[in-house]
Amino acid sequence: MAAYRWKCFDENEDRPEKPRSYGVTEMRGPHYTLLSQNVLQDIFESVGQFVDGLKFSGGSHSLMPKSFIKEVTDVAHKHDIYVSTGDWAENLLRKGPSAFKEYVEECKSLGFDTIELNVGSLGIPEETLLRFVRLIKSGGLKAKPQFAVQINKSDIPIGDRAFGAYVVPRPRSSEFVEDVDLLIRRAERCLEAGADMIMIDADDVCKQADSMRADIIAKIIGRLGVEKTMFEASNPRTSEWFVKQYGPKVNLFVDHSQVMDLECLRGRSLGKNHTSVLGSSYFLF
């Protein structure tokens, strides 16, 4: 399919061709939706020029035949799309230290380019995490640690109540955010150890556009840099928020159904609101 020439990036945006190190669009693969090889092929042929990476979410690759995984990675590579494992490495810890090195070798043989490390699920000391990053890099693959910001909500009842009366607990309006500086410092150490990018989970930070934690996002990007961070955008409005705030260079992880809309937003040539983008992309299809 011919390239979409209706896009018109501003000259000063300097959006590069693939392979890109920023302005990356990583697409969610098999897990949340069942995508066959033929479906993926159709997606890659239609919007593959806008897709930088394909992620096997939730360890879905562990349930698939190795032959199928290899077919998918081969198809992705034909379209200059890297393939990420998603967060599955934590399930190997019970098998002992040697299992992780074997996992890296198997991922490479199957055609994976990036191994993601879910830092929260791994629950390992920082030095062990850094050792895993170095093992991935020494194996010739890219390392992408994933961090999540936890917001603790108290169930202590609030408001006036009669003495002794029962009040149904509800979350307090004030929230306590875990030490974001500590998270950022661990992410910085991962980058120093060779990690290629830091993934930030959407939960409690950027799940919905009307409840974005702009303060936390700004702090993370301010310290790590927009080119070294990737955010999960759970819906089109969230993607729109990120592009409006940080421009087309922001790296986002989205569902396959959002790829075209996101590229329209990056191009900034079809209007400033998401409704106009939706209408235009729908017309093109």
Residue-wise pLDDT tens digits, 219-266 = 999 999 999 999 999 889 999 999 999 999 999 999 988 999 999 888
pLDDT band for position 41 (50/70/90)?
confident
Least confident of 13-17, 168-172, 206-210, 219-223: 168-172
The phi and psi torsions of 82 (rounded to 5 degrees) equal -80, 160
pLDDT over 70 at 170, yes or no: no
CA–CA distance, 99 with 122 (Å, rounded to integer): 14
Average pLDDT of the chain is 79
192 falls in which pLDDT band (50, 70, 90)? very high
Name 254's bridge partners: 27
Contact 32, 255 (CB under 8 A): yes
Q: What is the pLDDT of residue 208?
A: 78
CA dihedral 188, 192, 197, 199 (to 10 degrees): -30
pTM: 0.80
What pLDDT is recorded for position 110?
Answer: 93
Q: Is 246 exposed, middle or buried (0-12, 13-18, 19+ CB in 10 A)?
A: middle
Diameter of the chain by CA atoms?
A: 72
State the Cα torsion 214-217-220-222 to the nearest 10°: -60
Amino acid at 125: P
pLDDT band at 139 (very low <50, low <70, confident <90, very high): very high
Q: Where are the beta strands (DSSP E) in the chain?
A: 25-28, 53-55, 82-87, 114-118, 142-147, 151-152, 176-177, 198-200, 229-232, 251-255
Nearest Cα neighbor of 48 from 26, 20, 79 is: 79
Q: What is the pLDDT of residue 6?
A: 39
Give CA–CA dist 58/88, Å, rounded: 7
Q: What is the pLDDT of residue 197?
A: 97
Give the C-alpha separation, 28 to 63, whole Å. Answer: 16
- Spatial CB neighbours of 146, under 8 Å, sequence gap ≥ 6: 87, 116, 117, 118, 119, 120, 198, 199, 200, 201
Residue type, 227: E
| Residue 169, helix vs strand vs coil | coil
pLDDT of 130 above 90: yes
17 has a pLDDT exceeding 90:
no
Written as six digits, the tokens of 83 are 């393939």
**pLDDT value at residue 94:** 63
Closest C-alpha among 252, 224, 219 to residue 237? 252
**Rounded mean pLDDT, 27-38:** 65
pLDDT of the residue at 14: 53
**According to the model, what pLDDT value does residue 38 have?**
77
Euclidean distance between CA atoms 83 and 96, whole angstroms: 26
pLDDT computed for residue 152 by the predictor: 62
What residues are paired with 44 via a beta bridge? none
How far apart CA 146 and CA 87 sit, in angstroms, is: 8
